[in-house]
Amino acid sequence: MCTRLHAIGFPCEMDRRTAEFVRRTAISTKRRVISNDGEYRIWRSPAGAEVWLHYPKRRPTLRTGTAKPDRSEPPKPFDPIDDLMGLSGAHAGASDVRMKLTRSLRIAAGNPLEGVCVAMLGSRRANEKPIAFSFEHVGFAAERLGAPIEARVQLTGLAQKIWAYRTEAAYLAATPAHRLIGRGAMVDVNVNERADLVLTYRPKPGCLWLVTGEVKRSVRLVNPVTSAPYYWLQLQTDRGDIDVVASPSVIDGDVSVGHTVQTVVSMAGRILERMG
């Protein structure tokens, strides 16, 4: 099963080269975000790709039959691979979407640094109501919500699959009825529909979305660690512009500017600014 970092040019499975990259990043990077539950160590490429490495605090080893820490052995040295409990991928770009964040939810029993943010997302169309919206919250443990707030959020869609068409008419003609939504629309997807939607990795709960929009920018980039190519798109939708990143292997069609794209993405988001 591929990881979602495949969308920004990393291999599907952890290989020796990627593991060595993680080791170097975890030891040498100055980009650290500390929380009560542990810390994130962040790698950013010059083109905007981001990897947030999750290092939760270790639980103390308890003495047999007691609730007291066992101090008979010295603490185990930090290990950038063995202590890695998860990771998040994102891509800095043009996305800047205002929404109401309502709550945050921890989603991994063994990793307090991983979570989902639930929000209400408005529309650029005057006659459309806000929709309930959720995304993997990059930096979750450091920015837990105490109360609902308005915020500006940078959204990254890590593409599972992209279908691209030269015109909206071509999109309407070629798209199966069960995937046919208006250009600019965003709808949540049930993970049980994975066979039809050609999912390449398991998404976070509630973070899988079917999105259709117009390509405003399209850039072919290269991951500096692996030398693998990937695409960054600025996709215009009725709910705001999102950054979409994709391996060439999941793209069907031409993702040039002005074309209509439908994509299945795992949505990740970073809070840019809290508005209140």
Within a 10 A sphere around the Cβ of 175, how many other Cβ atoms?
16
The reply to whether 179 falls in a domain is: yes
Q: pLDDT exceeding 70 applies to what percent of the chain?
A: 93
166 or 63, which is more confident: 166
Asked, for residue 207, whether it belongs to a domain, the answer is: yes
Bridge partners for 32 per DSSP: 41
The number of beta carbons lying within 10 Å of the beta carbon of residue 125 is: 11
3-class secondary-structure state, position 110: coil
Q: How far apart are the C-alpha atoms of 218 and 233, rounded to whole Å?
A: 5
Mean pLDDT of 165-185: 95
Euclidean distance between the first and the last CA atom of the chain, given in angstroms as a whole number: 40
User: What would the pLDDT profile of 61-104 be if each residue is shown by its tens digit?
Assistant: 655 666 566 566 667 788 888 889 999 999 999 999 999 999 99
How many angstroms separate the CA atoms of 135 and 201, rounded? 16
Which distant-in-sequence residues (6+ apart) come within 8 Å of 147 by Cβ?
A: none
- 113 belongs to a structural domain: yes
Q: Is residue 43 part of a domain?
A: no
| Encoded tokens for 69 | 């820490």
The whole-number pLDDT of residue 192 equals 80
- Distance between CA 121 and CA 133 in Å, rounded? 6
- Residue 44 near residue 88, CB atoms below 8 Å: no
Domain that holds residue 261: 90-274
pLDDT of 246 strictly over 60: yes
Burial of 168 (0-12, 13-18, 19+ CB in 10 A): middle
Instruction: State the pairing for strand pair 97-106/115-121.
Output: antiparallel
210 assigned to some structural domain: yes
H/E stretch holding 25? helix 16-28
pLDDT of amino acid 66: 65
Query: Please, what sign has the CA dihedral across residues 114, 37, 59, 26?
Result: positive
Q: Is residue 263 part of a domain?
A: yes
Query: In this structure, which amino acid lies at residue 161?
Result: K
Task: Find tokens 């915020």 and name the residue.
Answer: 151
Task: Say whether pLDDT at 60 is over 80.
Answer: no
- Per the confidence metrics, is the pTM higher than 0.85? yes
* pLDDT single digits (tens) 216-241: 999 999 999 999 999 999 999 999 99
CA dihedral 155, 218, 241, 34 (to 10 degrees): 20
Is residue 203 within 8 Å of 266, Cβ to Cβ? yes
Rounded distance, CA 159 to CA 239, Å?
18
Asked whether residue 1 carries a pLDDT value surpassing 60, the answer given is: no
Q: Identify whether 119 is part of a domain.
A: yes
- Number of domains observed in the structure of the chain: 1
Is the Cβ–Cβ distance between 173 and 238 less than 8 Å? no
d(CA 138, CA 155): 10
pLDDT band at residue 59 under the 50/70/90 scheme? confident
Q: What is the pLDDT of residues 117-159, one digit of tens each?
A: 999 999 998 888 999 999 999 999 998 888 899 999 999 999 9
* Averaged pLDDT of the chain: 90
